[in-house]
Structures are given as C-alpha cells and as structure tokens.
Amino acid sequence: MKFFKSIAYAGRGLKEAVGGQRNLKIQLMVALTAVCLGLYFHIDRLEWGLLLGCCAWVISLELVNTSIEYLTDLVTKEKNPLAGKVKDIAAAAVLFSAVLSGIIGLLIFAKYIF
C-alpha cells in the first residue's frame, strides 16, 4: 500500500509542476515532438535509447530545479544572494542538459532530414 501512496504523491507532484511551470510544459512538448519524429522516421533502438534518455534527463532536472526553487522560497522570502545562486545553478543544470539533448537530437535526426 505504501508503494501506491508514493506513486500517488509523485503523480500529485508532477501535476503541480506541470500546472505551474511554463518551461516544463515546453520541455514536455519538445519531448513529445521528438518522440513523434522518432516514430515517423523509424529510428533504431540505440537512437530510441538516446532520445528517451535525453527527454528523461531534461524533464527530471527541470523537476529537481522546480523543487529547489520552491524549497529556497520556503527557507527565505527575502532577497538573498546565496539563494539566488542556488536557483541560478539549478537552472543552469537544466539549460546544460537541454542544450546537450538538443545537440544529441540533431545528431539523431540529421541523417533523416538532411
């Protein structure tokens, strides 16, 4: 029963994040587009692994970034340079993963498009 409760909590967290985070919505749409392109071009198993891994990497980091932002806001409502650094570094992790995932996506789909 604890297992099902933990799944329900995770689902609630995902719903909260998707409902409140514009960037997460964009990332989910990009992931859905990439999956649709993968289906259209019949990419191979290795490419599917890379594609889905990149999607999971970016979305997971965005969820962690969101939780870090919420936790930072919970700890302090005041302008704090250290809190700003925490948020900026978490956002940088998402940006880094998104850029590299974009490059990997280009490498996967380039042979089908060009």
Active site residues: 62
Q: Which has the closest alpha carbon to 14: 75, 66, 53, 58? A: 66
Q: Is the dihedral of CA 77, 83, 88, 91 positive or negative?
A: negative
What separation in angstroms does the CA of 30 have from each of 21, 78, 106, 109?
15, 34, 13, 14
Using an 8 Å Cβ cutoff, are 27 and 61 in contact?
no
Using an 8 Å Cβ cutoff, are 91 and 65 in contact?
yes
